[in-house]
């Protein structure tokens, strides 16, 4: 009987660990999406996503 209760305790611990892992995985994915959206918006606001004309920049540096 002691062995049976030990196995039940192990099964409950595995289920709980799996549940916690899935919750943390979901939270991490959600947080990653939110941060990436924020970074994209910040880059757009600062103009870091615009393509620069490299030849004009090079000419300005040479002159």
Total number of domains constituting the chain = 1
pTM for this entry = 0.65
Q: What is the pLDDT of residue 40?
A: 95
State the residue range of the domain holding 20.
Answer: 2-62
Q: What is the pLDDT of residue 3?
A: 79
* pLDDT tens per residue across span 8-61: 999 999 999 999 999 999 999 999 999 999 999 999 998 888 877 767 766 777
User: Buried b / exposed e across 34-60, counting CB within 10 Å, b at 16+?
Assistant: eeeeeeeeeeeeeeeeeeeeeeeeeee
């Amino acid at each position: 009987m002691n062995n049976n209760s030990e196995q039940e305790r192990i099964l409950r611990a595995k289920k709980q660990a799996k549940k916690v892992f899935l919750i943390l995985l979901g939270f991490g994915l959600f947080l990653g999406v939110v941060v990436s959206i924020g970074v994209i918006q910040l880059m757009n606001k600062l103009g870091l996503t615009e393509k620069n004309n490299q030849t004009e920049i090079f000419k300005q540096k040479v002159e």
